[in-house]
Structure 1
């Protein structure tokens, strides 16, 4: 992976933290998180463990000069980001990484997020529609469907 290309696509992200309180650069935290998730990590502690296991490599490439953040810090930084801006950056990066091949299929599929139904408020479950590049095994983008809608109305927005 070329880190400069990654940085080019994620430079749009604005750091919502107060500048005087920033210990870990936003780019470092985003890079670690996305690499860990792509590698199969499923939680903040997994992401922290991923960083610890690759800490020497990260420092060789200029990341985390002051040490690795704990999982709570990673979660807090990522939760402050504009999710739509992060999605745009990720989709842009994926498009740059994806080489189209003859007969490549982009599958469109909708899923209901498990555990997203709120019994107390009787809010409906969250439904997502994703575009999946089957040749590369990568989700190229996804959108949340409107509460009283279906997948078909979300597909044009996704495309």
Structure 2
């Protein structure tokens, strides 16, 4: 959740923080904790989920809404502790372990895709900002990335960035990539 959905983010945040702090009679339906150690840091992820959402005034705006989630990540590195809380709504049942894993997988995919787009297309340096141009360019980049990924198997030992260059240098490579579709 972000601040662009009216009071939804704030409502969910207040509810889940209050309920997670309770020791008795909490509306938390499920919770899960996972600890990772590595790279000189300790990371603790706690997931709190509630299926008690009838009170949520915005519920009707989200078809299939079944649960609300708070993910609390605590990191300790070199004696410095940082805590971050993020909030989500979900159409999944209130299973904290399943939701925590789904959130982690989603961000892994998002971060990987962003890295590829930045390396291959220098997306972070794009100055396209007017109207719908930025969104349109993002769609074009994603489509071309999908075509490059689909064509990668036809070219041995060539990465996405190299395949893009190869397509610019020769019509045969370009035709092979375009024939892949997206």
Please classify the TM superposition score into its range, dividing by the shorter chain length: under 0.3
Q: Which structure has the greater CA radius of gyration?
A: 2
The structure where strand makes up a greater share of residues is 2
RCO (CA 8 Å, sep 6+): is it higher in 1 or 2?
A: 1
- TM-score, normalised to structure 1, is 0.26
